[in-house]
Structure 1
Amino acid sequence: MTVLPDDGLSLAAEFPAATHAQWQRLVAGVLSRSGKDVPETEAEDALSTALEDGLRARPLYTAADAAPDAGLPGFAPFVRSGRAEGNTAGGWDVRQRHRTADAEAVLTDLENGVTSLWLAVGPDGVAVEELDRVLRDVYLDLAPIVLEAGPETAAAADELLSLYERRGVAPEAARGNLGADPLGTEARTGAAYDGDGFAATVALARLCAESYPGVRALTVDALPYHDAGGSAAQELGCSLATGVAYLRALTGGGLSLEQALGQLEFRYAATADQFLTIAKLRAARRLWARVAEACGAPAAGAQLQHAVTSSVMMTARDPWVNMLRTTVATLAAGVGGAESVTVQPFDHALGLPDAFARRIARNTSTILVEESHLARVIDPAGGSWYVESLTDELARAAWEFFQEIERSGGQTAALRSGLVKDRLAATWAERSKALAKRREPITGVSEFPFLAEKPVEREPAPAAPGGGLPRVRRDEAFEALRARSDAHLAATGARPRVYLAALGPAAAHTARLTFAANLFQAGGIEPVTDGSFADSGATEVCLCSSDALYEERAAAEAAEFRAAGARHVTLAGRPSAFPDADSYVFAGCDAIAVLSATLDRMGVS
């Protein structure tokens, strides 16, 4: 620890030292004035935010919030980085995914900042026989190649290794990953891998360990669990269980423990929840180091990480906002210490990306590395009391889930018994409630939607494999409502409408008028505020004002609108404000249920 010289300038020297108890007392006083009377000792809990996995983000962290020693970068438990230099030697590997046999797009990426290629191979990607053509202009001794071939892994690996040989690439010069991931494929497709499937994976790992030192054979892909709605701890727990299953298979097939550990690369989702992503990547390294230590090879427990911006967070509506989401996610992946980062194009949810979307995706990493200098510091979040605490708490929750999977017989048994599917489904059901109530806002979808937005058209992407765990997106429930509105617009020439009746002066109605307009647009319902109800083309009315004015005028206004033909009167407020309304919209209401019922009443199928 650096000791600063005594220069006679002591900041806050004339002020008494503040204590935690004093802060709690002040917080309790503020809460009391806002109508929440809580004991001083519970004031902090009142301001805490509930996270998934039973975690809570507190409003204040201090040096008293101790976490296990994170060690030094490049040394066990590898929390700070799997390498002593972290990403400071040029930044992280910018890895972009390609699902079509477009050799020109591949070359364009490599010429403009991308440093490795991730190729989806098979029916939903590039055909095995097309690999030679797709990589025709690629210097295979310079650009690492990562495969994702599912059931066709053996054939794709054979073709790639054959390409190295035909083009004169020395085995020691080859870099990348053959992408064998039988359990990840089973999670995606439901197709069970037998002993022969694992035998082929072991054979690839042995070949890489003996002849291709820069190529790994296996990927532990945690994306299927994230994409199915799993929490961060569940994603980590499944990755640990999968990694352990592969270690057992590889060591049982004749590889040493150190060789087996060196054949694995881990893939995780990076989301716009930057602190949770940072903590997840740091916790993943700590947990895998613990596995390696328990197996007897602590020095070989550095986890190689590939972070991919989340598909779950991407939206089809207002897709431009996805650029902001992926920027935050990429920042979190870099700060979290991922060695490779894939930024999914902003139009990912719409189909195949165009050239502009691919350019923005690769430039996201370039800006963060070259202009923001994000990679110049190893573990920049390290030492933050919040990040260190969150890392520790998340690691403990993930280890608990990992142990549950191991008690059930391991990852294979947990997948086939439904344990994993059921746990992920329960987590997604709870999160769906938060999304429906807009407690987890989705900008451009559940918050600040833009009904006049021109749709972004893209060429359809190859169908993703199905049959296994589901794939979810945060916007899916709102997207279904908007699709109903779009169909109504196409059939009738107009969107369903609701008339917003502002009662009293602007100071009384503006807040609730804005709230109601935002809410209805999230369901594709056009709010009308100008003119009269008779001229609005609406069949329903929503009254917007203060509780005081509702008490004075709501009954008369509702009766007048009903007499004018309004079939349904909604109140922007809680039932206590006007018990005779037909329905109510307020902060925390189930927006999906309210909007779906509204479209039903309007005859929008």
Structure 2
Amino acid sequence: MTVEHEGFRPGAGFAPGTREEWRRAAVGVLRRSGAEVDSPEEALAHTTYDGVTLRPLYDASDLPGDPGLPGFAPYVRGARPLGGALSGWDVRQRHAHPDPAVTREAVLADLENGVTSLWLVLGEGGPPPSALPRMLDGVYLDLAPVVLSAGAATPEAAEVYLRLADQRGTAPAGGNLGADPIGLRARTGTPAPLPEAVALARRAKDVPSLRAITVDATPYHDAGGSDAEELGCSLATGVAYLRALTDGGLTLEEALGQLEFRYAATADQFLTIAKFRAARMLWARVAEVCGAPALGGQLQHAVTSSAMMTARDPWVNMLRTTLACFAAGVGGADAVTVQPFDARLGLPDAFARRIARNTQSLLVEEAGVARVADPAGGSWYAERLTADLAGKAWEWFQEIERAGGAEAALGRLIPERLAATWARRSRDVARRARPITGVSEFPHLDERRPVREPAPEPAGGGLPRVHYAQEFEALRDRADRADRADRAGERPLVFLATIGPVAAHTARASFAANLFRSGGIATLTGGASTDPAAIAGEFARSGSAVACLCSSDRLYAEHAEAVAAALAAAGARKVWLAGKGHYEGVDAVLHAGCDVLDVLRTTFDDLGVAP
């Protein structure tokens, strides 16, 4: 119970604000900044890749309706009752090292230091299923749930695991056998028979808490898809499995109890929170349509996004995965896997795994994120975003169903839709509308990345696997390989021709330097001067073939053309200008929102850097 102090009333003296008052104040601020707007909502709104409009202001009128209570339909606030929601989520660590002995050592270290369940990758890229007994030597199967990912070898892996539990005379403490034939097709393009998954479900239904089927939606995320596309694909896959299981003799209750859903969690915390809440709402709707509204609680496994991870400045991945883990926990995920920060570099070492599991322990134990049921519940923004995202996902799910279901749609509809979204996302990344810290923004050219043992290549042939930073990182690799004929071993260089005093050129010089460095190109800043001959002399001594003018609009008007002419006379193949405007002798301009990748590729060509 909260008692308000008689002498302290925070709201005293303030009249209640209205939306119209906010509009007037916002318009005033925007116009003073030079923007001629009449509607601040439109000027400040942002649209997601799913077409959901994120507005700058929400109020009680935006609430979509009663979200219910934790543990009750429509499960928006969590699939577990209140008591379970406060016990924390399952800390699940992934292991994919091909050496069973190394995996066993890592597994035991994880279980002794906070991990509560195991995710084991077997088959292609991992140990063979026959190595399971060795990998799980010393693991109490009745205490530590095990989730398998064995691809085409799933039936064999499941058989080995169940036989091992039987030999030990113990029942598995939950977990999942990992059957996901539609997900396997999405990853590899290889059709997998549904009857095998049905057979595993028949065996697993008699083991309490053990599930047989994983509805893995991460292939759609990893292909560049949006949140609603990931959700819609998962619904279509889940419905396909329900049909197969019930046709195979399971009751609807048994079939629903065999599915676990896996989604990607990203550093966009609000969209991630909304995605996990919306996923439960949508699956509850599926269960309701099937005639089992009380059985629609979705079991969710969150995995921090592979697509958002970077190979450059990998330490920043610790921050990305922390945000993603936080969002998944707040969103109500039942189990969370934090990928090690060095996942893009190869097989993670003990330090990386320790940081990954301790990220979760800190959020659960120290930050207390799990002490509150549905922390985002009641937020006008979070509730509206959850409902809007669910609406877009349901539309996409219905489109897949009209195309014949998940398997049929994987032939053309789903790949084309994901490719279109990836193309839009790629354009935003190229223009730094979606900045990537440490890569497209604030790159560290002298970084010393940790060296890791190469990881086996994952099976391909299906949907592509993309990384948001991949084009910038490819240019960084190109710059690292460059070997200038006149200065062997030095990276490509652009000369920043700063015009006038420091106050006039610093902002644009910093902008230009950051832009070129995002491609691995070093910059050399000239001395502040307005003398074209002096600037050209510095450029000639730099050894570069490309220059970029940096100054204020006023000084550009006075000196840009003369300086550009002097640079050309000194041998410049290309003269850029940081800012906007047309000046004789200036070949092209750099500005916020320009295609940075195109600028970098052009600069590599002008500098003679080999592909």
TM tier relative to shorter chain:
over 0.9
The corresponding residue for 2:481 is 487
Residues 270 and 308 in structure 1, CA contact (< 8 A), matched pair in contact too: yes
Partner SS, residue 329 of structure 1 = helix
The corresponding residue for 1:553 is 559
1:39-438 mapped onto 2 (5 Å cutoff)? 39=38, 42-85=39-82, 88-100=85-97, 101=100, 102-169=103-170, 171=171, 173-193=172-192, 197-209=193-205, 211-416=206-411, 418-438=412-432
Aligned-partner residue type, residue 130 of structure 2 = E
1:443-592 mapped onto 2 (5 Å cutoff)? 443-489=437-483, 492-530=488-526, 532-576=538-582, 578-592=583-597
2 CA distance for matches of 1:187 and 1:178? Answer: 19
Residues 78 and 374 in structure 2, CA contact (< 8 A), matched pair in contact too: yes
Do the aligned partners of residues 219 and 86 (structure 1) sit closer, same or farther apart at CA in structure 2, a change above 3 Å counting? farther
2 CA distance for matches of 1:63 and 1:500? Answer: 52
- Deviation at 1:44? 1.3
Partner SS, residue 94 of structure 2 = strand
Q: Alpha-carbon deviations, 1:327-347, whole Å to 9, x = none?
A: 000000100000100000000
Aligned-partner residue type, residue 103 of structure 1 = R
- Deviation at 1:468? 0.1
2 CA distance for matches of 1:128 and 1:121? Answer: 6
Aligned-partner residue type, residue 146 of structure 1 = V
Residues 219 and 266 in structure 1, CA contact (< 8 A), matched pair in contact too: yes
2 CA distance for matches of 1:571 and 1:61? Answer: 41
The Cα RMSD (Å) is 1.7
Residues 87 and 378 in structure 1, CA contact (< 8 A), matched pair in contact too: no
Residues 27 and 44 in structure 1, CA contact (< 8 A), matched pair in contact too: no
Unaligned runs of 5+ in 2: 528-537
2 CA distance for matches of 1:268 and 1:596? Answer: 35
Residues 103 and 133 in structure 1, CA contact (< 8 A), matched pair in contact too: yes
The corresponding residue for 1:439 is 433
Aligned-partner residue type, residue 314 of structure 1 = M
Residues 546 and 606 in structure 2, CA contact (< 8 A), matched pair in contact too: no
Do the aligned partners of residues 6 and 356 (structure 1) sit closer, same or farther apart at CA in structure 2, a change above 3 Å counting? closer
Aligned-partner residue type, residue 471 of structure 1 = R
Equivalences, count = 594
Partner SS, residue 88 of structure 2 = coil
2 CA distance for matches of 1:203 and 1:6? Answer: 64
Partner SS, residue 360 of structure 1 = helix
1 CA distance for matches of 2:549 and 2:196? Answer: 66
- Deviation at 1:30? 1.9
TM-score under structure 1 length normalisation: 0.96
- Deviation at 1:579? 4.9
1 CA distance for matches of 2:415 and 2:484? Answer: 38
2 CA distance for matches of 1:50 and 1:549? Answer: 37
Residues 499 and 505 in structure 2, CA contact (< 8 A), matched pair in contact too: yes
Do the aligned partners of residues 489 and 143 (structure 1) sit closer, same or farther apart at CA in structure 2, a change above 3 Å counting? farther
Unaligned runs of 5+ in 1: none
Aligned-partner residue type, residue 328 of structure 1 = L
- Deviation at 1:455? 3.1
- Deviation at 1:456? 2.5
2 CA distance for matches of 1:318 and 1:6? Answer: 50
Aligned-partner residue type, residue 264 of structure 1 = L
Which segment is superposed worse, 25-34 or 284-293?
25-34
Which segment is superposed worse, 405-414 or 482-491?
482-491
Aligned-partner residue type, residue 462 of structure 2 = G
**Which one of the candidate residues 597, 601, 606 is aligned to 1:601?**
606
TM-score under structure 2 length normalisation: 0.95
Q: Alpha-carbon deviations, 1:396-438, whole Å to 9, x = none?
A: 000000000001010011012x100000000000000000000
Q: Percent identity?
A: 62
Residues 174 and 212 in structure 1, CA contact (< 8 A), matched pair in contact too: no
Residues 86 and 372 in structure 2, CA contact (< 8 A), matched pair in contact too: no
